[in-house]
Amino acid sequence: MLSSDTFVSATMKPFIVAENIAKAYGGVQALTGVSLSIAPGEVHGLVGANGAGKSTLIKVLAGLVQPDAGQIVVDGVPVSLPTPHHATDLGMSFIHQELAFIPGMNVLQNILLGVPKKTRFGMVDWRAAARDVAPIAQRVGIKAPLFASVKGLSTAENWLINICRALVRNARLIVMDEPTASLSAAEAEKLFAIVEDLSASGVAVLYVSHRLDEIMRLCSRVSIFRDGRSVGCLESTAITRPALIEAIVGGKVEPLAAAERRTVVRQEIALTVKALTRAPKVNGVSFELRRGEVLGIGGLVGAGRTELARLIYGADRADSGVVTLDGASFSPRNPTQAVKAGLGLVPEERRAEGLLITKSVAFNLQIANLANIVRSPAWPLIHRRKREALSLQIVRDLAVKTPSIDTPVGRLSGGNQQKVVIGRWLLRAPKVLILDEPTRGVDIGARGEIHRLVRELAARGMAVIVISSEPDELPDLCDRVLVMVEGRIVSTLEGDAITRNAIVEASYFVGGRPIQEITI
């Protein structure tokens, strides 16, 4: 049954309670009074659609951001968490999807990051430290020698290093954010065993995941967030797939077959993908993309959407499969070849992969368009007036807010940085443009402007792929939506069938079967 999330039975005195936490960013309410309680030794699940507020609450608990309202209580005492150090001192440890480790250090050094170390004659006594850490490393199953480099270790091994670090710090609560997103089935099973062992030893685990099979298997209680609010807590035998999905979506999910579909105007095929595979993230993906079409790709974190985009763009090589562009075989060996053939990509991580932060707005706009602004092929010097005119044109067209085109792009807001990345491809005018999470981290105004721009590009005949983790973003933007689960396309939605609920439902398919067909 659904219960208030602050309820804990008399035999389960909570270690931590978050009460009515609220947080706003730039006028947008990320959390509007969420509550959560976790008892010692409890594996507590946290679920919700993308944007429900899960990550914001984790940041509040970690001391990374300060709540606007509400309180956090640890062992019955209200506390403040002005910095991550305060959270650590209270016994909380956080393992994020982007695992914290330093490649240039060895296993032991990575485990002891931020941990006070024994010294001898003014130097760190690494041998004494290794003797202390060895039993804990053995407990979590670290096979690599403690003095071996972490370079080349698998994601699963790096997860174990992060868990070991938490236990070395005597963590009483470990928060795991999408722990199996990058793990194989066998590696995930090992992680499950560790979670169960931690629970048995009295360590609490907050398990944040979109994978409902894992939630049902591991968790004794599950809190559900929706649109920045707590909508309840499922306990014990009430934790079923239909109950979880109904709580996440906010109502019963209608079968897809009942939805009315709108006819999409058919144009020439720009891109064809057939049985594209790169194990384990992309498995036999096939689809067609037409000129003037906006094709959405939805799904949960770790579904393989970004990996699919990288294969098409030539950033990674496929194990098998065929891609055709304008009817001709297309197999770029690198992104440079893809760009020359007529593809563009706005990556998910714009600051790390899409921009040179210290360079100017103009430099970032023109970086894929240099051939068109040199004086001549024989005299490859930049034509300054042409560079300035084209850059100013894009800045005006996209309403990029910047003091000048010579301003370092790192000084711009997230939304304006994203406009610069998109504007780069307006100058290049690719046949196919792939946008990976185009509105992540931008305000609501910039989001609307980016959506308008996407539709304008499609109206000009450009074929556009939009990858988004937000099910609310795709219905009004896309002509079709493909939903990926575990590297496969499990559903194709068109017209009026493209709804938030339909996308969320399809995102939780198992083996390609809808929830109505699954026996609990």
Mean pLDDT, the chain, integer: 84
What gap in Å lies between CA 253 and CA 255, rounded to an integer? 7
The residues, ordered by sequence, that sit 6+ positions from 430 with a Cβ below 8 Å of its Cβ are 339, 342, 343, 344, 462
Question: What does the DSSP 8-state code read for residue 253?
Answer: P
Task: State the average pLDDT over residues 120-149.
Answer: 90
Residue 119 clears pLDDT 90, i.e. is over it: no
Bridge partners, residue 436, by sequence: 467
What gap in Å lies between CA 512 and CA 491, rounded to an integer? 8
Asked whether the beta carbons of 147 and 108 are under 8 A apart, the reply is: yes
Structural domains in the chain, sorted by start:
2-249 (3.40.50.300), 267-342+430-520 (3.40.50.300), 351-429 (no CATH)
Bridge partners, residue 508, by sequence: none
pLDDT of residue 258: 32
Q: Are strands 119-120 and 77-79 parallel, antiparallel or unpaired?
A: unpaired
Residue 182 clears pLDDT 80, i.e. is over it: no
Task: State the average pLDDT over residues 274-278.
Answer: 95
Q: How big is the chain, counted in residues?
A: 520
Q: Which of 223, 214, 170 is nearest to 196 (CA)?
A: 214
What 260-264 contacts at long range (C-beta under 8 Å, 24+ apart), as own/partner pairs, is 260/495, 260/496, 260/497, 261/494, 261/495, 261/496, 261/497, 262/494, 262/495, 262/496, 263/495, 264/293, 264/479, 264/480, 264/494, 264/495
Share of the chain above pLDDT 90, in %: 44
Q: Which range has the worst mean pLDDT, 151-165, 450-464, 503-517?
A: 503-517
pLDDT of residue 456: 87
303-312 pLDDT, tens digit each: 899 999 999 9
What gap in Å lies between CA 89 and CA 385, rounded to an integer? 58
Residue 284 clears pLDDT 90, i.e. is over it: yes
pLDDT of residue 352: 74
Residue 368 clears pLDDT 70, i.e. is over it: yes
389 or 472, which is more confident: 389
Residue 225, token pair as written in the block: 């967030």
- Of all helices (H) and strands (E), which one includes residue 464? strand 463-467
Q: Which range has the worst mean pLDDT, 71-75, 135-139, 194-198, 471-475?
A: 471-475
Residue 98: pLDDT band (50, 70, 90) is low
Task: State the average pLDDT over residues 29-47.
Answer: 93
Residue 442 clears pLDDT 90, i.e. is over it: no
What gap in Å lies between CA 82 and CA 273, rounded to an integer? 50
- Identify the top-confidence range among 65-79, 84-98, 344-358: 65-79
Residue 10 clears pLDDT 60, i.e. is over it: no
Q: What is the 3-state secondary structure (H, E, C) of 78-138?
A: EECCCCHHHHHHCCEEEECCCCCCCCCCEHHHHHCCCCCCCEECCEECHHHHHHHHHHHHH
Chain centre to alpha carbon of residue 210? 11
Residue 510 clears pLDDT 70, i.e. is over it: no
